[in-house]
């Protein structure tokens, strides 16, 4: 394990215990696919069924796209690097860097470390989560229009690898925000309580 990954795991282990509180249980039960903790995967994952769900427990580098519906759970201790993530619901407990669209809700737990360009219709940020990058809210109707119609079939997974070369692919950095865009670096300390309201950029930066 690299020094950076060791430090990340130590940071996540010190985070207060928390459970998912905003994503509906019925959505969590849709998670039927898992990349286990001992897997290092490089490739593009695409799901066409609105009832598909994926949990990442290891290392993943590549796109993750649910064309309609869908839920992605990035578990504590996992590391996901992606140029494109699209799903209705996203739960982050581990490390994520890249570009992400949560068409309905993103929930960020205390152990999460997020670095990237995040767009969401609604967000629940737990106290202690670390977020850096560009955060933009979108209207739910706008997110629904961006989703493609569901087609037949379920999941396509291409170009998978579980060798040590995938580890170097998974450690890639996120794309920088576009010129003129705002950047946020924050430990979500102002979002305590049973259910945090969607934060503004000013609140996150405080």
pLDDT tens-digit readout, 48-86: 999 999 999 999 999 999 999 999 999 999 999 999 999
**Listed residue (41, 104, 68, 67) closest to 55, CA to CA:** 41
**Listed residue (104, 54, 88) closest to 74, CA to CA:** 54
Residue 178 has pLDDT above 50, yes or no: no
Check residue 18 and give its pLDDT. 74
Percent of the chain with pLDDT over 70: 59
Check residue 139 and give its pLDDT. 82
pTM reported for the whole predicted model: 0.68
pLDDT, tens digit (0-9, with 9 covering 90-100), for 122-167? 999 999 999 999 999 998 656 555 555 444 344 444 444 444 344 4
Check residue 14 and give its pLDDT. 53
**Strand-pair category, 79-92 with 59-61:** parallel
Q: Which of 3-7, 97-101, 142-146, 187-191 has the highest mean pLDDT?
A: 97-101
Query: Residue 118 to residues 6, 181, 182: CA-CA distances in angstroms?
Result: 25, 12, 12
């Amino acid at each position: 394990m690299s020094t950076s990954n060791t430090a990340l795991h130590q940071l996540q282990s010190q985070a207060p215990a928390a459970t998912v509180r905003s994503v509906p249980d019925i959505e969590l039960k849709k998670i039927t696919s898992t990349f286990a903790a001992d897997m290092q995967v490089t490739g593009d994952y695409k799901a066409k069924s609105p009832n598909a769900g994926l949990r990442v427990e290891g290392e993943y580098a590549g796109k993750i796209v649910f064309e309609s519906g869908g839920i992605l759970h990035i578990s504590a201790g996992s590391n996901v690097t992606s140029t494109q993530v699209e799903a209705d619901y996203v739960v982050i407990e581990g490390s994520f860097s890249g570009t992400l669209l949560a068409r309905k809700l993103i929930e960020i737990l205390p152990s999460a470390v997020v670095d990237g360009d995040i767009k969401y219709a609604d967000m629940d940020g737990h106290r202690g989560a670390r977020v850096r990058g560009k955060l933009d809210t979108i209207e739910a109707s706008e997110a629904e229009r961006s989703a493609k119609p569901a087609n037949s079939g379920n999941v396509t997974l291409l170009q998978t690898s579980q060798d040590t070369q995938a580890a170097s692919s998974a450690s890639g950095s996120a794309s920088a925000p576009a010129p003129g865009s705002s950047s946020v670096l924050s430990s979500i300390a102002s979002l305590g309580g049973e259910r945090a309201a969607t934060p503004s950029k000013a609140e996150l930066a405080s």
